Structure 1
Amino acid sequence: MKVKHLLAGAALAALCTTAAAAQEVTLRLAHWLPPTHPVQTLGIEPWIASLKEASGGRIDVQIFPAQQLGAAPDHYDMARDGIADITYTNPGYQAGRFPIYSLIEIPFHMDNAPRGAKAMHEWYAPLAETEMSDVMFCMANPHDPGTFHSKAPILEPGDVSGLNVRPAHATMARFVSMLGGGPVQVPAPEAREAIANGAADAMTFPWNSIWIFGIDSELKQHLDMPFYVSAQLMLINKDTYNGMADDLKAVLDSHCTPEWSQKFSEGWAENEASGRDKALAEGSGHTVNVPTEEQVQMWKEAAAPLVDTWKSEAGADAEAIYQGYLDALDANDARF
């Protein structure tokens, strides 16, 4: 009888092992962009296809775009709470919540999105546990460096004074305030409405997003100076990850690397850069304003206090963390 029980136990264990090995999962991925946005078509969809291939079809991902599962600022909490298994999150939509992360929002640091994504991943992944411990960090995805787009020309910091500006994130909102402007903080999907109804006179945005969100009919003056980025993060619910079979975890791990952050960011960066060419095209009705070297220096000096403010808010290790970011940018040839 004991032998039979042992054999039955062994058979059950083998059955469980086989079932675990054959586990299939469908993950819910939420983001707040239109489904036609290059982040989905050139980043998310190829990433999902690679996950599916690497798992032999056992990992599938269902996409919920355009804030279907929640508002853009809520996507971090949606990953934490399991409303979605994976979320594409802009931490800059929640001012002050992620002080270490906000370093990447300070102008004049990153000059290349794909290489910058790899640098950011290498720098931030070990730090994410300190301020994002209730989710799993997967990837970083900065956009191609953006600039000011406005109704009237903006060429130097003083031109922002008195304007209402839709900033890309909390750090840019602070910068606008420092320059004497009024921040109008709305997520990207709501930016056009803010411009069209007169609530904002200008905005900070990457180039082609002006066309993607239909803002090109409202803002026709552009500052030709790539000086800031907004970096989104791909985050995963911890319970979802922990509930996956070990071999599927390994597949997901292999798609949450610095190299994947770079690859994920390439298509969007190229697409955003094309917006500048649209503005420069003859007959476009748009004006691309090129600042002088003196004006560029004025912008750099105006932004410099943001670093000191960041250090005062980031904690005791701020100097080392800051140097680590610069080192990562240098190592990946992504420093401004």
Structure 2
Amino acid sequence: MLKKTALALALNLSIAAMAQAETLRLSHWVPATHPVQVTGIEPWAKSIEEASGGDLSIQIFPAQQIGSAPDHYDMVRDGIVDISWTNPGYNAGRFPIYSLIEIPFHISGGAAGAKAIHSWYQDYAKKEMSDVFFCAVNSHETGALHSKKKITQPSELSGLNIRPAHATMARFVSNLGAAPVQVPAPEAREAIARGIADAITFPWGSIYDFGIDKEVKYHMDLPMYVSAQVLLFNKDSLNGLSEQNRQVIYDHCTPDWSQKMSQGWVDDDRAAREQMIADEGHTVTRPSEEEEALWREAAIPSLDKWKSDVAASGIDADKTYEDYLQSLQENNADY
């Protein structure tokens, strides 16, 4: 009788635990095989599940299954998903402070850069992304320019159609006489294949991930920019968790986790770059010091425009910029 009672009690406790377990839905827009998911999101989600003792699990929806890439901020804000992997740069003008990280020639490394961005932006996020909970930054290694013809100087962009990584890069190429073709990453290959775009700013690994290596054969080996995505939580979803489980989430929304989540993507990009250099069907060219100086000079108007936009919203642009530079330096991520 005692054995039956103990068994029934254990069964009831198990059922109660299952009833209390919560599944959070996470949406992103790259393939499920992409390092963003395999080396970043999945280990992060597994760590959350383990730290919560199985109370929390995260169900991942990749490849725009729930919504298109540009819609991911609104999706998590509105509770369509509990967590989203969002590119703020797909929402032009909406997050002017964050767009600072998109200005070329500031970041030298993606993983350390992700930690630096998180450390710098986490307080600004409370103002600029106040309707969601800012959790983490996920960055690729510094991206490059990939094109149908060899390019090493800014003047050679004039007259070309270029798919930029985000709105900031769109303004950058526009200032150099190019026409931006603004399509999300999953649509980039088609734009190039159909002749709508002549070049693209993209991470090295994603050139292979999206099959764009079949369309562009020339690559400028210059670390131009990052497009650092952010992991965001719906506030109601987060606040609906127990205090203990909310703390588990907070413990996984730190600058260190931003770096850890980004490292696999960065390693993949670095390996892809080496693969591209070794591929006889591709030409990888490093601009000269004089040419690089021209590129860096070409980015100055983008920084001036950022300062103007941020100042207009009542933010001290100079202090914000200096804080950003300091965070990059402290994390050995400055270019």
TM-score normalized by structure 2?
A: 0.93
Q: SS in structure 2 opposite 1:247? A: helix
The residue that corresponds to 1:264 in the other structure is: 261
Q: 1:309 aligns with which of 300, 305, 311?
A: 305
Instruction: Provide the rounded CA distance (Å) in 2 between the counterparts of 1:282 and 1:219.
Output: 13
CA-CA distance at 1:282 after TM superposition: 4.7
Instruction: Provide the rounded CA distance (Å) in 1 between the counterparts of 2:206 and 2:151.
Output: 19
The residue that corresponds to 1:226 in the other structure is: 223
The residue that corresponds to 1:77 in the other structure is: 74
Q: Is structure 2 residue 333 aligned with structure 1 residue 334?
A: yes
Contact 1:31/1:88, CA 8 A, preserved across alignment: yes
Once superposed, what is the RMSD of the aligned Cα atoms? 1.3
Q: How is 1:9-158 mapped onto 2 (pairs within 5 angstroms)? A: 23-158=20-155
The residue that corresponds to 2:233 in the other structure is: 236
The residue that corresponds to 1:322 in the other structure is: 321
Instruction: Provide the rounded CA distance (Å) in 1 between the counterparts of 2:178 and 2:85.
Output: 29
Instruction: Provide the rounded CA distance (Å) in 1 between the counterparts of 2:96 and 2:18.
Output: 40
Write the letter of the residue equivalent to 1:313.
D
Q: Is structure 2 residue 301 aligned with structure 1 residue 296?
A: no
Instruction: Provide the rounded CA distance (Å) in 1 between the counterparts of 2:259 and 2:18.
Output: 31
Write the letter of the residue equivalent to 1:176.
V
Instruction: Provide the rounded CA distance (Å) in 2 between the counterparts of 1:243 and 1:227.
Output: 41
Q: 1:287 aligns with which of 263, 270, 283?
A: 283
CA-CA distance at 1:22 after TM superposition: 8.1
Write the letter of the residue equivalent to 1:242.
N
Q: SS in structure 1 opposite 2:145? A: strand
Contact 1:101/1:124, CA 8 A, preserved across alignment: yes
Q: SS in structure 2 opposite 1:109? A: coil
Contact 1:20/1:245, CA 8 A, preserved across alignment: no
Share of identical aligned residues, percent?
60
Instruction: Provide the rounded CA distance (Å) in 1 between the counterparts of 2:286 and 2:117.
Output: 29
Contact 1:142/1:265, CA 8 A, preserved across alignment: yes
Contact 1:326/1:335, CA 8 A, preserved across alignment: yes
Instruction: Provide the rounded CA distance (Å) in 1 between the counterparts of 2:139 and 2:59.
Output: 23
Q: SS in structure 2 opposite 1:122? A: helix
CA-CA distance at 1:275 after TM superposition: 1.4
Structure 1: segments with no counterpart, 5+ residues: 1-18
Structure 2: segments with no counterpart, 5+ residues: 1-15
CA-CA distance at 1:23 after TM superposition: 3.1
Instruction: Provide the rounded CA distance (Å) in 2 between the counterparts of 1:235 and 1:117.
Output: 15
Q: SS in structure 1 opposite 2:200? A: strand
CA-CA distance at 1:21 after TM superposition: 12
CA-CA distance at 1:148 after TM superposition: 0.5
Q: How many residues align?
A: 317
Instruction: Provide the rounded CA distance (Å) in 2 between the counterparts of 1:290 and 1:24.
Output: 52
